[in-house]
Amino acid sequence: PRADVPNVQDLQYVVSDGSTFVDLERDATTHTVSMPTEQALEYTVTNTAISGRYRLTNTYVTDPARATLLIKTRFQSLDGGAYQLYVLYNPSLAGGAGNDTGAWDGANGALVASDGQPVFGGTVASALKSSLAFSAHSTGYSGTSSDGYVDLAADRRLTNQYDTASVGGNIVQIGQVPVGADTTFTLALGFGANRGGAIAAANASLSAGFAAAESSYRSGWAGYLTGKPVPAAVSGDTSLRRTYRVGVMSLRAMEDKTFPGATVAGLATPWGDFVDGAALGDGYHRVWARDLYQQGTAMLAAGDAAQARRMAQWLWNRQQITTWTQGDGVWYGPGSFPRYSPVSGVSGATPRQLGCCEQLDQDAFAIVLAWQTGLTDAATWSKIKLTADHLVDFGPATPGERWEEQSGVSPSTVAAEIAGLVCAADIARRNGDTASASTYESTADAWRAALDGWTFTTTGSFGDHRYYERIEHDTNPNDTFARSLEDGTWWERDIVDGGFLDLVRLGIRPASHPNVTASLPELDAVDSVTTPSGNVYWHRYNHDSYGESQADGTGWPAGHGQRTGRAWPLLSGERGEYELAAGRSATAHLRAMANAGNAGNLLPEQVWDRADQYGFTFGEPTGSAAPLAWAEAQYVRLALSIDAGRPVETPSVVAARYGGRP
């Protein structure tokens, strides 16, 4: 299936003794995660019953030849007891569970499900099979008497078996796997455009066997990693090295297989346990130009120039707006890029799928990525010119800055705009358009000269009162203009973020620029947190509300009060790039990012930012997205930047123009 269409809500085991207990694998076991090899994105998850009764060891791979997820499972009775094992599958096909139907296919011994409502022009079906044939099975509706888990919980046995759920709804499928004291088997979850296709995938994968798929999967990843050496900054440390390799592989894995170059922001729905899954809730399964730039620069530095170039080509061939196009409550003009889009791009997308509103840094980053990947041919130049002209006419103020919440003049957005225009000027000259090149450079120069007057306050409430604001509504950073946020109304001169560091990372200001260094103490005092183990992380900005409720720990979409944005590990990476530009070490920032990872060395969007509470641990992942592709890219890029002794993303043409460190 496409990377922008999530299809599974839940897939786990249920264990019972048939009389006294029913355990959900997720809740009744302790979990350990391991990688059988660092050279493949393969995981083994070992779940041991808290009661000590049993253990489940699950190894996950995808079949490289088919649309099948394979899980090799070993079930062990640890106390000599006889147990029943069930697999519980809650499909959420075509991005939502509101229209799923399911049945038992006796001829193939498979639990099949489908959603006949097309999403992005196609339908999705699944087929769940076991190498040990299911001895009992049922398909019903979640939370009702036909729900197999509800049936099990009532009397510890699968008493009622339903062969079909033919009316669209939120279905649940369950199958009993016959096991003894120590049993190993393989589950196959196949996908297709219809049930027949899904069954064919699952059957073929099981017929070939788990060992064959695992061998092919591992060799494919090992081949991909060949010629992409691990940087010295991480090679000698297991955690740092694994986080790097997982980062490179996860960025590769998140590229859509139908539309090459389209890499989603994350294969996750942040706070998915609080999201209504009845309809398409694509979470981060969308493509943001900003995130694609971050990913592309990381892949380019890591040695995958081909994927980076595909990303740039996808932006210009599929996501650029070339004629007035309706978004979600806005119209996007020619030359702009939407807030986000499906992996297929803007063609055929609905206004909701393009979002609201335009963010000029995304327009600019598309130009920078084209320049960095050598995409400077005449055909691409004609598209770049449309966007560069749009930036000149529409900037520097943006309808939305990089956190997608406020309009105005943002240091981070203007930094991207300046870099984009300088790169556009170079591409223009390569194509003989010296007049456009002159316009772009003079505009970039003017915005650079004016930026501090627009966004550097000298009357702020923090520190010595002198620092960059997060965003300015007009051009007076010393006035008392107030912005209303979820936690109250605040003068914008007292809202601080680290976006000004982009001026250095993009080569527009040297690290030693007085206003940059003057802003660091306020940034650190207002937005940083230090964990008990010494890792330092930063918030997006003070007064951020994009996070769990401080009242009860519920996730952001739940709508509960006192929502607080937590710390973002990728901001530690951005700070690390600045430290390198300033001639200092960034090793501590790299380690902080790695320490934020989960048990699979995948990096989250946010980590808990205070003493342990609501089941969260200070400095460890919250309920936000993991892995976040932007975070993975930032880690990979920082590791390579440490080896290079400078930020590898800095466009040399920008640094050369403004005297930044190339």
Q: What would the two tokens of residue 655 be?
A: 């640094």
If you average pLDDT over residues 149-165, what whole number do you get? 95
Amino acid at 615: G
475: DSSP letter: S
The structure tokens 């300015």 sit at: 472
Render pLDDT for 627-658 as a digit per residue (tens, 0 to 9): 999 999 999 999 999 999 999 999 999 999 99
Interhelix angle 360-372/305-314, rounded to 10 degrees, is 140
User: By three-state DSSP, how is residue 374 classified?
Assistant: coil
Of 404, 405, 486, 620, which residue is the catalytic one? 404
Q: Residues with Cβ < 8 Å from 546, sequence gap 6 or more?
A: 403, 540, 556, 563, 565
In this predicted structure, what is the pLDDT of residue 662? 37
Contact (CB, 8 A) for 206 and 188: yes
If you average pLDDT over residues 189-216, what whole number do you get? 98
Contact (CB, 8 A) for 255 and 230: no
Closest CA to 163 of 154, 174, 153: 174
Q: What would the two tokens of residue 662 be?
A: 């190339």
Contact (CB, 8 A) for 319 and 338: yes
497: DSSP letter: B
In this predicted structure, what is the pLDDT of residue 224? 97
In this predicted structure, what is the pLDDT of residue 521? 98
**Burial label, 37 (beta-carbon count in 10 A; 0-12, 13-18, 19+):** exposed
Q: What would the two tokens of residue 230 be?
A: 């691990």
Amino acid at 460: G
Amino acid at 498: G
In this predicted structure, what is the pLDDT of residue 338? 98
If you average pLDDT over residues 288-313, what whole number do you get? 98
Asked if the model's pLDDT at residue 661 lies above 70, the reply is no
The structure tokens 């041919």 sit at: 377
Give the range among 359-368, 552-561, 562-571, 617-626 with minimum mean pLDDT: 552-561
Q: What are the strands, taking DSSP E only, across 430-509?
A: 456-457, 467-468, 482-485, 488-491
| Complete DSSP assignment for 229-281 | PPPHHHHT-HHHHHHHHHHHHHHHHTB-SSSTT-B-S-SS-TTGGGS--SS--
In this predicted structure, what is the pLDDT of residue 135? 97
Q: Would you call 401 a catalytic residue per the annotation?
A: yes
**Burial label, 457 (beta-carbon count in 10 A; 0-12, 13-18, 19+):** buried
In this predicted structure, what is the pLDDT of residue 660? 59
Residue 659: band (very low, low, confident or very high) from pLDDT cuts 50, 70, 90: confident
Cis peptide before 423 (omega within 30 of 0): no
Q: Would you call 214 a catalytic residue per the annotation?
A: no
If you average pLDDT over residues 184-190, what whole number do you get? 98
Residue 464: Cβ within 10 Å count: 10
Taking the C-alpha atoms of residue 539 and residue 525, their distance in angstroms, rounded to an integer, is: 11
Contact (CB, 8 A) for 5 and 95: yes
Sign (positive or negative) of CA dihedral 221, 59, 91, 280: negative
User: By three-state DSSP, how is residue 630 classified?
Assistant: helix
DSSP alpha helix (H) spans, 69-209: 148-155, 195-208
In this predicted structure, what is the pLDDT of residue 275? 83
What is the arrangement of strands in the sheet containing 182-192, beginning at the earlier edge strand? 29-34, 43-49, 54-62, 68-77, 182-192, 122-130, 110-119, 100-105, 164-169
Q: Phi/psi zone of residue 441: left (φ > 0), alpha (ψ -120 to 50 degrees), beta?
A: alpha
Amino acid at 581: A
Q: Taking the chain, what is the end-to-end CA distance rounded to the nearest angstrom?
A: 41
493: DSSP letter: G
The structure tokens 């055929």 sit at: 348
Contact (CB, 8 A) for 73 and 187: yes
If you average pLDDT over residues 197-204, what whole number do you get? 98
HSE at residue 342, side-chain half, CA atoms within 13 A, is 21
Render pLDDT for 499-545 as a digit per residue (tens, 0 to 9): 999 999 999 999 999 999 999 999 999 999 999 999 999 999 999 99
Asked if the model's pLDDT at residue 69 lies above 70, the reply is yes
If you average pLDDT over residues 193-204, what whole number do you get? 98
Closest CA to 555 of 267, 273, 283, 266: 273
If you average pLDDT over residues 303-316, what whole number do you get? 98
Contact (CB, 8 A) for 483 and 497: no
This prediction has a pTM of 0.97
Chain-wide mean pLDDT for the chain? 96
In this predicted structure, what is the pLDDT of residue 70? 98
Render pLDDT for 271-299 as a digit per residue (tens, 0 to 9): 988 887 888 777 899 999 999 999 999 99
For residue 428, which phi and psi values (nearest 5 degrees)?
Answer: -60, -45
Q: What would the two tokens of residue 619 be?
A: 């400095």
Helix count and strand count (H, E) for the chain: 19, 23
Of 401, 522, 605, 632, which residue is the catalytic one? 401
Q: What would the two tokens of residue 359 be?
A: 């963010």
Taking the C-alpha atoms of residue 349 and residue 364, their distance in angstroms, rounded to an integer, is: 22
Q: Residues with Cβ < 8 Å from 209, sequence gap 6 or more?
A: 186
Contact (CB, 8 A) for 117 and 99: yes
Report, in angstroms and rounded to the nearest whole number, the Rg of the chain calculated over CA atoms.
26
Taking the C-alpha atoms of residue 573 and residue 559, their distance in angstroms, rounded to an integer, is: 30
If you average pLDDT over residues 608-621, what whole number do you get? 97
Taking the C-alpha atoms of residue 426 and residue 419, their distance in angstroms, rounded to an integer, is: 11
For residue 220, which phi and psi values (nearest 5 degrees)?
Answer: -65, -45
